[in-house]
Amino acid sequence: MENDDVAARAAALMPSLLESLTELVAIPSVAFPGYPAEPVEEMARTTLRMLHEAGATDARLMDVPSGYPPIYGEIPGPPGSPVVVLYAHYDVQPAPPEQGWTTDPWRPATRPDGRVSGRGSADDKGGIVCHLGTLRLLADRPPCTLRIVLEGMEETESNLEAFVVAHPDLFECDAFVVCDMGNLRVGEPVLTTALRGDVACVVTVSTLQHPLHSGIFGGPAPDAMMALARLLATLQDDDGDVAVAGVTSRAWDGEGITAEEFLASADLLDGVGLVGTGPVGDRLWTKPSINAIGVDTTGIAGSSNVLIPRASAKISMRIVPGADPDHELDALVAHLESHAPWGARVEVQRTKAAPPFDCRTDGPAYAAARAALADAYGVEPGVVGSGGSIPLLRTLAGVAPGAEFVLWGPEDVAGARIHASDESVDPREIERMVVAQVRFLQRYAEAQEPA
């Protein structure tokens, strides 16, 4: 198919693809512990049916020791053609009322601006629909051998990494297409080429052998919660930049995002400003960031007039592409152990050291992806990073060390609001991504043909 034919056929598919998206978003497939299993199981069955209808008749639920099963299928291409894995996930984030939803997250609707709302509409049921559209256009005669992998626990404790290690032959390929990303702005294509990593630890500060009456001992005796607060405050300087000595930072040289664009999607409270220095793209993608993501101490309901002897916090630090996670975590631990006030005792438990990820940008898959985005959008694509980390990519690279990675999708940063209230997707991004994926497979197959 020529590019105009692909675009016309993708446009004709959109009504049925939006019906599929609506059906999928209506299923509350939250795989987190404590949520009911039935909706996630229903989501797996519904997605599997849609794959079969799109031509992936070999697709099936795979056996896993625990958790929700990944979906796997294969569609053979011409003999000797490259092998491409299409990845997305069918589970979603929770959507509690306290997030401030203005619509029912499980009743997808088309908004006045044309976007389809609902939890998972962008992340990542929109990605699944992109794959469904790609298969509907190509499943009868794909130019490459396609392997479809849809994960069921991406948003929680993933079981796919262990499955990949146990079944490496299923993931041997020439390229992975991860449809769980998006453009900065609708209609302006980008490829994601770098992801930050993530290191984490739990720090516990102790100051007393037991609680003490705050009226009798308060003043001279140090309170552990106050000591912990002062320790956490040392992790950032006055501008909000990470103040841990020895951590890695660099400048970003790809597509940028303005402070105004970031503010439009970040929903800060009135009067609250951004933290850190330098361009926003640097702060998001190539500078470390640090957060206390959990605190253990006496709850307000159970509080009394006592000094707290012990308090803990879980600290997460995003690390930049190219950084060594062990080195970065060592630097964080050394800082915590050396900055406690008043001689407070500090214990640090290391909990995570997930490496960053850099995509190869000099191979045939990357070239084909850039050309395919230009075909679909009519303009040359830019290059962006991602502040998030996907540890699965390292595992996949381990079982297919020669494979390239293409990271894209329909989740535009400016409007999708993934993981937040009022998540939505622009149908035009789904349509363009279907065109881009079809054209990528065609161009990649042509590039891999022997001269």
Residue 293 CB contacts under 8 Å (≥ 6 apart), including other chains: 200, 314, 315, 316
Q: For the chain, how many residues are written?
A: 451
In the chain, what are the domain boundaries? 3-195+357-448, 197-249+288-354
Structure tokens given for 372:
């395919």
Structure tokens given for 12:
């004709």
173-205 pLDDT, tens digit each: 999 999 999 999 999 999 999 999 999 999 999
pTM: 0.90
pLDDT of 3: 78
CATH for the stretch 3-195+357-448: 3.40.630.10
Which residue pairs, CB below 8 angstroms and at least 24 apart, start in 36-43?
37/68, 40/68, 40/91, 40/152, 41/68, 43/90, 43/91, 43/152
Q: Any idea which residues carry the catalytic annotation? A: 91, 154
Q: Of the CATH numbers 3.30.70.240, 3.40.50.720, 3.30.70.360, 3.40.50.10420, which one belongs to the domain with range 197-249+288-354?
A: 3.30.70.360
Is residue 302 classed as helix, strand or coil in its secondary structure? coil
The owner of tokens 């080195």 is 327
The owner of tokens 């993933």 is 158
pLDDT of 254: 87
Residue 89 CB contacts under 8 Å (≥ 6 apart), including other chains: 124, 127, 150, 151, 152, 153, 154, 155, 180
Peptide linkage before 324 cis (omega within 30 of 0) = no
248-298 pLDDT, tens digit each: 999 998 888 889 888 887 889 999 999 999 999 999 999 999 999 999 999
Per-residue pLDDT of the chain (451 residues; tens, 9 = 90+): 777 899 999 999 999 999 999 999 999 999 999 999 999 999 999 999 999 999 999 999 999 999 999 999 999 999 999 999 999 999 999 999 999 999 999 999 999 999 999 999 999 999 999 999 999 999 789 999 999 999 999 999 899 999 999 999 999 999 999 999 999 999 999 999 999 999 999 999 999 999 999 999 999 999 999 999 999 999 999 999 999 999 999 999 888 888 988 888 788 999 999 999 999 999 999 999 999 999 999 999 999 999 999 999 999 999 999 999 999 999 999 999 999 999 999 999 999 998 899 999 999 999 999 999 999 999 999 999 988 778 899 999 999 999 999 999 999 988 999 999 999 999 999 999 999 999 999 999 998 764 3
